[in-house]
Amino acid sequence: MRLKLVSALSVFLCGLGNLNAVATVPTPIDAEDAVVADGMKCDGSIDDTAALQGAILAARKSGGHLILPGGICLVGSTISIPDHVWIQGRGKLSTTIRRKDGLNVATDMFDLSGAGGNVTITDLTIDGNKNGNLSAGQYSLGAAGVQAAGVSKLTIQRTRWINAYQAAIGLFVNSGQFVADAVISDSEFENNGTSATFTTDQTGNAGDVAIRSPLRVKVLRNHSVNARGNFVCFGTNANTGVGDVVVSGNTVENATGFGIALGGGGTIAKGAVLTGNILNQPLTRENNVDVAEWADVTVSNNQIVAGSACPQTGCAGIGDAPPAQHVTVTGNIITAAPTVPGSLCIGLGGSDLTISRNTCRNAGGAGIGIAVPDKIQSRNIHISKNVVTNGSQAQVGQHAGIELYIACGPGPKCTGGTGAISDVFIENNAVYDEQKSRTQGYGVGIALYGQTAGFTKISIIRNDFRGEVTRPILSRATGVAQLVIHGNRPAEVNASH
């Protein structure tokens, strides 16, 4: 089995600030300048659509602050939210806005309808009621009304988003426009999306949060449970200037799609910090974190449990494909998918990569893989101070803890490609197998599969290899220029290539 490129085609249309910034303290519920939606019944049986829409318009004329009553408020058609409105419930367990049963229409519950989307939503639950609308639905919050002008300064805090048919939040803007300076924080997402395939996941609009052309967007301290699709999926929408996003402090349980996908769409986005998240996704079909087609990315201090439902080999806890550039992956603890052939903890394919101080356990294939397409030249890769254990579980003895791979070219016998890997430093890693029945074949593998040419300037220095099934280092590459193997333990492995 060969080490495949991570994530197949992650071209889903799916000054960084203070990561620990505290959410804005809300104005008290009895604020004097607020409009109270007294006309809404919120008894779980009366349609409150007209009363809610009227209250929003009244609040917009009176300072913009609307306070909703407690209870279950039913809506039967799309509610439009103009700019400069704050919709505040009595608490996320006290005020619920629920889509009526039996509508079965592909429309949003709420649409941002102003010129800029400058809206705040706090302290309530929005229930898409997909069980009562089994054949059709859309987003609980969409942006159909502001696509021409983009979305700016949307704030969502202390809310609960449940049972959305497509996605809880789906913000899609036209080419040349952005979703800018949005904050989604301290909220809960439960049972959103109806995606059943990885193809739908990669389309990027199923699950909890789907945003196109994000710019300075922050997704902080949220909790997602049972998304049938992705927790967060961004995308460039072919725009330049996308980036500077932060996804931090979130907990994701049992999402079946991507945990965090930065997303492609035809252009390279720059700037992302993905840190301190817990992604427990044992049945995901995708990479838990996917950074494809982005640059200047930091993925740090996340705890990841990768998925066993990947329909293809090559899924990773942290991965790309097409390659991402200038990526730092550090301090992550990853338990890979041991039953999936080719699954990795970390699988990247670009240049200027730093992979350090990560812990990788139980990969089905290689633990850390540099997987380069046949037309890409990847260089300047530092892999250091990682702990990689018990890999190759789905392919016993066939893969290394750390592996370098170039995809085959179009010619016969894996020739004709122009892919290359150069300037690689693999140093001070602990790579071993501590199982009673060992599975990890090698400590470091070069060209075990795929193209055998194109490897230059590779240093394997001061690593600790213990308990590998076959041998600590194995290279099947032909004519590696400037291959240095030195100072590894045990000492006899230094010339074993």
Among the ranges given (152-166, 224-238, 301-315), the one the predictor scored with the smallest mean pLDDT: 301-315
Q: What is the mean pLDDT of residues 306-316?
A: 80
CATH of domain 34-185: 2.160.20.10
Type of residue found at 247: V
| DSSP H or E run through 53 | helix 49-60
* pLDDT, position 232: 98
Task: Name the average pLDDT for the chain.
Answer: 90
Q: Is the pLDDT of residue 473 over 90?
A: yes
**C-alpha–C-alpha distance, residues 89 and 96, integer Å:** 8
Q: What is the mean pLDDT of residues 345-360?
A: 97
pTM equals 0.93
146: confidence class by pLDDT, cuts 50, 70, 90: low
- First-to-last C-alpha distance (Å) of the chain: 21
**C-alpha–C-alpha distance, residues 124 and 30, integer Å:** 16
Residues 6+ apart with CB under 8 A from 28: none
Per residue in 443-465, is it b (16+ CB within 10 Å) or e — as a string?
Answer: bbbbbbbbbbbbbbbbebbebeb
Percentage, residues of the chain above pLDDT 90: 75
1: confidence class by pLDDT, cuts 50, 70, 90: very low
* pLDDT, position 18: 36
Q: What is the mean pLDDT of residues 379-396?
A: 96
Q: Is the pLDDT of residue 28 over 60?
A: no
Give the residue, 158 or 8, on which the prediction is more confident: 158
Domain ranges of the chain: 34-185
Q: Is the pLDDT of residue 398 over 90?
A: yes
What does the pLDDT look like over 39-94, one tens digit per residue? 999 999 999 999 999 999 999 999 999 999 999 999 999 999 999 999 999 999 99
Main-chain dihedrals φ then ψ at residue 144, nearest 5 degrees: -60, -30
**C-alpha–C-alpha distance, residues 287 and 283, integer Å:** 11
Q: By the 8 A CB rule, do 163 and 129 touch?
A: yes
* pLDDT, position 145: 62
200: confidence class by pLDDT, cuts 50, 70, 90: confident
Q: What is the mean pLDDT of residues 20-35?
A: 56
Instruction: Name the residue among 110, 103, 111 with its Cα closest to residue 134.
Output: 103
CA-CA-CA-CA dihedral for 125, 131, 137, 138, to nearest 10: 40
Q: Is the pLDDT of residue 19 over 50?
A: no
**C-alpha–C-alpha distance, residues 328 and 102, integer Å:** 48
What are the structure tokens assigned to 372, written together? 């380069």
Give the residue, 364 or 203, on which the prediction is more confident: 364
Q: By the 8 A CB rule, do 169 and 139 touch?
A: yes
Q: What is the mean pLDDT of residues 122-126?
A: 98
Q: What is the mean pLDDT of residues 373-389?
A: 96
Per residue in 75-86, is it b (16+ CB within 10 Å) or e — as a string?
Answer: beebbbbbbbbb
Cis before 322 (ω within 30): yes
Say how far residue 253 (Cα) sits from the centre of its chain.
Answer: 13
- At 49 the three-state DSSP class reads helix
* pLDDT, position 495: 45
Among the ranges given (93-102, 135-144, 274-283), the one the predictor scored with the smallest mean pLDDT: 135-144
15: confidence class by pLDDT, cuts 50, 70, 90: very low
Residues 6+ apart with CB under 8 A from 336: 306, 316, 317, 343, 344, 345, 360, 361, 362, 363, 364, 367, 391
Q: By the 8 A CB rule, do 324 and 290 touch?
A: no
* pLDDT, position 490: 80
Q: Is the pLDDT of residue 334 over 50?
A: yes
* pLDDT, position 168: 97
Give the residue, 245 or 1, on which the prediction is more confident: 245
**C-alpha–C-alpha distance, residues 246 and 477, integer Å:** 39
30: confidence class by pLDDT, cuts 50, 70, 90: low
Instruction: Name the residue among 260, 266, 257, 328 with its Cα closest to residue 293.
Output: 266
Q: Is the pLDDT of residue 147 over 80?
A: no
Q: What is the mean pLDDT of residues 463-475?
A: 86
Q: What is the mean pLDDT of residues 146-156?
A: 81
203: confidence class by pLDDT, cuts 50, 70, 90: confident
Among the ranges given (19-23, 40-44, 129-133), the one the predictor scored with the smallest mean pLDDT: 19-23
493: confidence class by pLDDT, cuts 50, 70, 90: low
Query: Any idea which residue has 């069980």 for tokens?
Result: 131
Main-chain dihedrals φ then ψ at residue 407, nearest 5 degrees: -65, 150
3: confidence class by pLDDT, cuts 50, 70, 90: very low
238: confidence class by pLDDT, cuts 50, 70, 90: confident
Query: Any idea which residue has 């370098």 for tokens?
Result: 404
